[in-house]
Amino acid sequence: MSIPTHIGFIMDGNGRWAKARGLPRTAGHKVGAKVLEPLLEHAFKRGVKFVTLYAFSSENWGRPKDEVDTLINLFREYLSGDIKALKDKGIQIRFIGDKHRFPEDVQEKMTLLEAPLHSPVKGTVILALSYGARADIIHAIQALIKAGKNVEELSEDTFKKYLSTHDIPDPDFIIRTSGEQRLSNFLLWENAYAELYFPTVLWPDFTPAELDKALEVYESRTRRFGKV
């Protein structure tokens, strides 16, 4: 079976999951966080090497303050608990996005978690926090200019080196839960030839069994990369 090397998840539907149960949106985020550890372990067991999680976009700062505060507290707990547990099991942790917008203690947790593993790496989880693909592309252009690169000699490979994902293979498969069919400013450069999948299941209900269904869909696709 063909297994994607890199899967990107747009974790959508926490708020709707909570609303359907008469709960506040924040309850959906808490349940959605609990889905991650078993799902990630299953993904790596199936042979996936990289998983990027779109956990908090740069636009999400515009949500109601109580929801943003709850999400930051949830990140704080998650970085000390489930994500740390994954690292203890041989999973390398990476972060992309504007980390400096988070409280100092959260930034410190990110820095500690990003330290290289001394044991064999079983897989890599990239958390996109305060991330926006357009901003990442602008930052790459600014870095190119500061580095004095000759625009006439610029290639796609050179440009890639200045993105926050420069040392990560492009996603093969993007899964957005809840049925919404948008990329929402997620890895726009990197997704040029990714296969897209939009299951209607809400994120808190996206189990390892749902991932198996998604992998069957991926297996059924023919990737041509613009060729015949």
Rounded CA separation 52/183 (Å): 13
Residue appearing with tokens 């609990």: 34
- Is there a domain that residue 10 lies in? yes
Rounded CA separation 117/26 (Å): 33
Q: Encode pLDDT of 79-92 as tens digits.
A: 888 788 888 889 99
- Is there a domain that residue 70 lies in? yes
Active site includes 98? Answer: no
Which among 224, 218, 228 has a CA at the least distance from the CA of 2?
218
Query: Looking at 12, 14, 136, 172, which residue is catalytic?
Result: 12
pLDDT at 70: 87
- Is there a domain that residue 32 lies in? yes
- Asked if 60 contacts 68 with a C-beta cutoff of 8 angstroms, the reply is yes
- Which DSSP string do the residues of 47-78 spell out, in sequence order? T--EEEEEEEEGGGGGS-HHHHHHHHHHHHHH
* Per-residue b or e along 206-228, where b marks 16 or more CB atoms closer than 10 Å to that residue's CB: beeebbeebbeebeeeeeeeeee
Tally of domains in the chain: 1
Q: Which domain holds residue 11?
A: 6-132+170-220
- Is there a domain that residue 25 lies in? yes
Active site includes 60? Answer: yes
Q: Encode pLDDT of 2-28 as tens digits.
A: 999 999 999 999 999 999 999 998 899
- Is there a domain that residue 150 lies in? no
Residue 24: give its domain's CATH number. 3.40.1180.10
Q: Encode pLDDT of 42-51 as tens digits.
A: 999 999 999 9
Range 146-174 average pLDDT: 93
- Is there a domain that residue 106 lies in? yes
